[in-house]
Structure formats: structure tokens, C-alpha cells
Amino acid sequence: MLPGVLVSLACLAVIFSLIDLKELLKAVQQADLRLLGLGILLGVAWLLVRGMVWRTLLRERASYKDVFFTLNEGYLLNNILPFRLGELGRAFLLGRKASLDFWQVLPTILVERMLDMAMALGLFLGALPFVAGVSWAQQAALSAAVIVGGGLLSVYVLALNRARLLGLLERAGQRWPLVGRLLGGRAEAFMAGLAIVTDGRLFLKALGWSLFNWLFGVIQYFVLLRAFYPQASSLWAVFCLGAGSLGLAAPSSPGGLGVFEAAIVGALAVFDNNHSKATAFAISTHLINYLLTGLLGSYALAREGETLAGLYKQLRALRQKPPAEA
């Protein structure tokens, strides 16, 4: 955890060196509460659509109810536990609810994260030429698009040739027993989970839901920005959402504390130099996300009789279990 915690502390130190606490409190007090309330409702809508994205990637082999509540359980775990255990937690919990193999569920989360990274980069780099106003911005956007597209294409090729790859892994396991013990049935289940990318109809459906999901994100950011910046435009929302999402991908303490705020403050500095107001917006947006996923995730864990301590122990022991148990 230490590197991530240090990154978060460094980001927080930089932010608090730039802001005036009185100005920060003033910005919070002057925020439009009606727009903040609307932003919360849009956050719920974002989570509801998010459930459709993941259920489609799962090839609809789990009920929407199970997928939605498990999604929020995973976000809750990510907000409070280290090492992004929420991603393992969702695979583990949904596997039990829907009678799916853990190693089948996990690659759907990997594909979901790749789509998210592609969307975040697309928003950030797509807005960058209009924000920066320099020629290299367009070249950077194109280069990033090629890299992300190459990553998705690699996953597609991997899934398309899964039988050949599994054959190679099986022969490697026969030659080196340690490899066989490590892989067990995990490789086959994992490759089966990646099969969604070779199903054109379902993958396009998942992509469509993902685009719809990020559209809700842009709308939510636009509404929340207007609560603090009446002059904010849709370009602000697109650029801030892309920057904040990329910030959350950086190493940090649980929940992306510090790095998210730093990314948002940096993005808003392009439009407005009031760092205190930008920090107020970033903290409010992050807090809304915490509250929504925290309440929904806690409710889901409680109704299933789970505790955070018990689940944390199960996740830590997960890698020691045979594939059939996982």
C-alpha cells in the first residue's frame, strides 16, 4: 500500500498548498443545492446503466439485480480496501450468486476496465485540442487512440485463438508441473470469460451501453459543475470527466483519495484559476460517489449477511483455493 498512500499524500499536500480554506468553505456554501441534488440522481442513473454494461459483458448469465448490487459491493470495497480488492470482490461475490466460475467473471471486469480506459482517454484527448489549442494535442489524441485500439484488438485476437493458446498452456503444464498447478482450470475459465469480445452482437451491445453510461457521466459532471461554476460549458464536463477518470487509474490509497482531486483541480485550472472552488467541486463529486456506492454496497452486503472483515479474509485466501472452489 505504501507507494499508493505516498502518492495520495503528495497530491493532497499539493492541493492544500494551493487553496485557501476560507475560500473553500465559501465555495461549498454558495453551491446550488438543487443542482447538487440533481447530480446525485444522475449518479444513481449512471450506476443503473453501469449494471447493464457489466451484465451484457457477462453474456446475461446473471440477473440484473445480482449484477447491480454486486457492482456496488465492489465499488464499496475499492473505496475502503487496498490493492483494488473490489474487483476481485465483485468476481467472487457474483460467482457465488450466479453459480459462475470466479475465473469466468474476472475477465469481464478486465474488458469493462479496458472499455472505461478507452472512453476516458477518448474524452480527455478529444477535448484536449479545444482546451490546449496546440497542434501536438491532436497528434497525442491520435496516438493514444491507436494504443487503446491496439489493446482491445489484442484481447480480441487472444479470445479468437483461445483454443490454440489453451493447447500451448496445457503442453506447458505437462512439461512443467508447477505451471500446471498454478493454472489448473483457471486458464480455460478465464478464456471462456473473454469470449464476449468475439460475439459481435453482444460486444456491440455492451459498447453501446458503455457509451450511454459515459454520456450520463458527462451530463452529471455538467450539472455538478454548474452548481459551482454557472459559466461552465459541456467542454468543461468532458475534459474534467476524462481527467478525473484517468486520475483514478493512478496508484493511490483506497478510493483514489487525493489523485482524483488533483486531476480535477488540474483540469479546471485550464478554465478557471480559482483552486479553492475547483477543490470544492472535486471533493463534492468524490463524496457523492462515496455516498452512493457506500449506501448501496453496504445495503447489498447486509442483505447477504456479509461483513467487510469476513469478506476481506475470503478475498485474501482466494488465491490459495483450487479453481473449482474459487
Per-residue pLDDT of the chain (326 residues; tens, 9 = 90+): 677 778 888 888 989 888 899 999 999 999 999 999 999 999 999 999 999 999 999 989 999 999 999 999 999 988 887 777 788 889 989 988 888 888 888 888 988 988 898 888 888 888 887 886 655 556 666 676 677 677 777 777 777 776 777 677 677 766 677 656 556 556 666 766 677 777 778 888 998 999 999 999 999 999 999 999 999 999 999 999 999 998 887 766 777 888 899 999 999 998 998 999 999 999 999 999 999 999 999 999 998 888 777 777 777 776 555 444 44
- Looking at residue 140, its pLDDT comes to 63
* Three-class SS of 131-171: HHCCHHHHHHHHHHHHHHHHHHHHHHHHHHCHHHHHHHHHH
pLDDT value of residue 323: 46
User: How big is the chain, counted in residues?
Assistant: 326
Domain ranges of the chain: 2-318
> What's the CA gap between 182 and 185, in Å, rounded?
9
- Residue 325 pLDDT: 45
Task: List b or e across 188-224, with b for residues whose CB sees 16 or more CB atoms inside 10 angstroms.
Answer: bbbbbbbbbbbeeebbebbbebbeebbebbbbbbbbb
